[in-house]
Amino acid sequence: MHMDQYDNVNQHTQKGIDFLERYGHFLRDRANIEVEYAGKLRKLVKTYQPKKKEEEDFQFTSCKAFKDMLNEMNDLAGQHELIAENLVATVIKEVQCRTKEFKDEKKKHLADGIKHQNNLTNQLANLDRAKKNYEKSFRESEKALESFQRADADLNLSRAEVEKQRLQSLYKSQQCEDTKKEYANQLDKGNEMQNSFYKVLMPSVFQGLQDVDQRRIKTFKNNMKQATELEIAIYPIVKKCLEGVAKATDQIDEDMDSQMVIERFKSGFQPPEDIPFEDLSAIKSGEAPPPQTNGFSNSLKLDSQSLTFKGTISNSKSKKRSGLFGIFGNNKPGGTDGRDDYSELPPNQRRKKLQQKIDEYAAKIQQETAAKDGLVKMQSVYQSNPNLGDPGAIEGQLRESTQRLNKLQQEHQKYLTYLSEMEMPQNQGGYGSTNYNGIRTSTNRSSGSDESLTRSASDLSQNNHKVSAPGTPLPSHGYIIPHLLTRFLPIAFHSSSNSPESGISTSHTSLPDSDFEHIDADNHDYYEEPLPVLGTCEALYPFEATSEGSIPMGDGEQLFIVELDQGDGWTRVRRQNSMEEGFVPTSYVRINLYSSC
């Protein structure tokens, strides 16, 4: 290779090293992108992870599949982080080390080439000076010889002058020989160095540069392959993650999700029965009561879906109106009105809530029992070996654990009682569940305290055993009386004084925290007309009205029924000899509904 290509080779080698260094920068940026992508993917997964309040919705198969996909995406992010770690720890570090090594070797070879070139240049300069000295000495020797020959031929010159010219000629001739020898010596050195430069030294430099470039290419090849293999190694795991997502999608079942929705929101209430036919001829002959002119179809501007049975309003309407008279309740936030038996929920949903509470307290009891057993074992160890600790120090912890365990067991038993009372067969009369001519009414138990309503006396009332009156529904639970007052709302709103018709002596304007937003002004006619008569009832026990909205009755008194039990244990009645209306305990009366109801 000629010297004129030396610079080109040097530039090529430098470009190769720069290319390897650039590849290292590429891998560094690639690792940063992988880390950034993994971080953003984890942040995305965290953003869409179900919150605690959404855990109930994630029981559906589609939501479970989405949650599984998020977990797989989180694992996928971990694989991208692994790629970045491996690139930094192995490939990028190797490329950086090799790049530095190649730069140092290239620098060394370049310095050697420059050194060899400088040496050759110096030798050629010495040769040129020796040659010029020889040429000069040769010319001077020739001139001195010519001068001696002319002097020797000139007879006019003395012998001394001729001898002087001869000596001068010999001196110049000797000087010429010396410069000739020096020239020959420098020429040999120059030729030798030149041959060594072109045949040994520079080829060695070029070989070194070639070796650097080849090793640089091999390093690039190996590191590129290693980076690819690192990525290939994690693809089976990535494939498993994607297969997990596909498997999660296969588990989505729209029928199962629909069934879960049905089970979750199934109330357990029976649909309303058919509207009875009014036989006008029977009414005319007196076999049936006369039709009421103030039926719901004219007086109430409600949809048919808002009615549970004739003469009553649906549970949702009753709850909406109960907010006006919440002064008797606890007014706790939330939708449970302070009750912990979930009696405000439909039967199926109530059963699920109670079962959840039972399972929750069962798990807490198991955990607390395990903790107590551990304390007992620790105490026994301390008793056998007092050096390990004081057994008396465990006594306080055992007492606290026992108290917590007893409290948990009481709560667990309370919810078991609620569930067993809900699941027990309904009684045939009195205070439990009564079926009159196909219309079923049930008592909605109120809880939140240890007071429970006794139902045993209702069985006695069915058999006319007038030993003692059954317990009346209590107003202290924050639910029954407000609900009773909302059912008595039409009279309460339009009683101008403490008349016996109202049963409520306080006007609506004097009630604190009253909310009139739920009252529709279009329903004004409904509040002014009396409710239709649904049947009659006979008092089984005397009843003294002790709460607002209720009316007293004597033993055996006959009353009209204008509204059936809504599940709170109260039936709305009207006296037969006046328009006075109010509520009496359902278990205190024997109900006889008209066949048309």
Domain ranges in the chain are 6-260, 343-422, 535-593
Residues in the chain, total: 597
How many angstroms separate the CA atoms of 88 and 128, rounded? Answer: 58
Provide the residue type at 70 as one letter.
L
Query: Which of 70-74, 149-153, 193-197, 436-440 bottoms out in mean pLDDT, i.e. has the lowest?
Result: 436-440
DSSP single-letter state for residue 447: -
How many angstroms separate the CA atoms of 138 and 135, rounded? Answer: 5
Place of tokens 């290509």: 5
Confidence band of 353 (pLDDT split at 50, 70, 90): confident
- Tell me the CA distances in angstroms from 398 to 370, 371, 372, 422, 464, one per residue in order: 12, 9, 7, 36, 54
User: Which tokens go with 241?
Assistant: 């993650």
Architecture category of domain 343-422 in CATH: Orthogonal Bundle (1.10)
How many angstroms separate the CA atoms of 339 and 116, rounded? Answer: 101
Mean pLDDT (whole number) for 165-182: 90
Identify the pLDDT of residue 385. 84
Identify the pLDDT of residue 263. 80
Chosen CATH of 535-593 out of 1.10.8.640, 2.30.30.40, 3.90.420.10, 1.10.1740.10: 2.30.30.40
pLDDT at 50 over 70: yes
Confidence band of 467 (pLDDT split at 50, 70, 90): very low
Give the global pTM.
Answer: 0.47
Confidence band of 359 (pLDDT split at 50, 70, 90): very high
User: What is the separation, in whole angstroms, between the first and last Cα of the chain?
Assistant: 119
Reported CATH class of domain 6-260: mainly alpha
Give per-residue pLDDT as tens, 546-572. 778 889 999 999 999 999 988 888 999
Give per-residue pLDDT as tens, 220-272. 999 999 999 988 998 899 999 999 999 989 989 999 888 888 887 777 777 78
